[in-house]
Amino acid sequence: MSKKTIGIVVGSLRKASYNKSIANYIASLLPGEYEVKFIDISNVDMFNQDLEENPPESWIRLREEVKSSDAYLFFTPEYNRSVPAVLKNVLDVASRPYGQNVWAHKPAGIVSVSMGASGAFGANHHLRQTLTCLDVYPLQQPEAYIGNVMGLLDEKGNLVNEDTKNFLKSYVNAFTAWVEKF
């Protein structure tokens, strides 16, 4: 059996991103039959339909990385009850041109992370809605909302809360079972 590639998309560009910390922890939990690939979204040109005939190199690179993934894990903060613009942009870029959506027909997981108590609930559900439109199959249960994240990490950004570690292990188990169905 060949390894399945999990494309990890972190919707926060901040160097000390809480979402990146949680993404790194979850990546470390994936079994050996999975290869992890962090998809860099920091320099993807903004979507502009006028550029579709001669797409920027960043679009071509992104589309290839997305296409070569067997499944996705998305990590998102919440900005004004939705996903960050950078995350929405990569969803749009890799779903175009019309009829060439490279996200389609693959499973995904969504983990939303925030400093607030709601765990970026709004962003999680906006992302879920967009993925459904893109014909991506998000894991339904368990849902992963990581709130009050600053109290779960040490000063280096390492997850130290045992209850959260246990929950994320169960999330990874559910996610890998979901991926295997495809």
**pLDDT per position as a tens digit, 76-119:** 999 999 999 999 999 999 999 999 999 999 999 999 999 988 88
Please tell me whether the peptide bond between 138 and the residue prior to it is cis, using omega within 30 degrees of 0: no
- Domain interval for residue 91: 4-180
Backbone dihedral region for residue 81 (phi beyond 0: left; psi -120 to 50: alpha; all else: beta)? left
pLDDT at position 118 is 87
Over residues 124-138, mean pLDDT: 97
Instruction: Provide the pLDDT for residue 130.
Output: 97
pLDDT digits (tens, 9 = 90+) for 5-33: 999 999 999 999 999 999 999 999 999 99
DSSP code for 97: S
- Residue 152: CB atoms within 10 Å: 21
38 and 20 in contact (C-beta within 8 Å)? no
pTM listed for this prediction: 0.96
CA dist 65 and 68 (Å) reads: 5
pLDDT at 150: 92
Per-residue model confidence (pLDDT) at position 2: 82
Residues 43-76 have pLDDT tens digits of 999 999 999 999 999 999 999 999 999 999 999 9
pLDDT tens, 133-168?
999 999 999 999 999 999 999 999 999 999 999 999
In this prediction, residue 95 carries a pLDDT of 98
Residue 179 has pLDDT above 90, yes or no: yes
Q: Do the beta carbons of residue 98 and residue 47 sit within 8 Å? A: no
Confidence of residue 1 (pLDDT cuts 50, 70, 90): low
CA distance 68 to 103: 10
Looking up residue 64, the CATH number of its domain turns out to be: 3.40.50.360
Return d(Cα 57, Cα 55) in angstroms, integer. Answer: 6
Domain count, the chain: 1
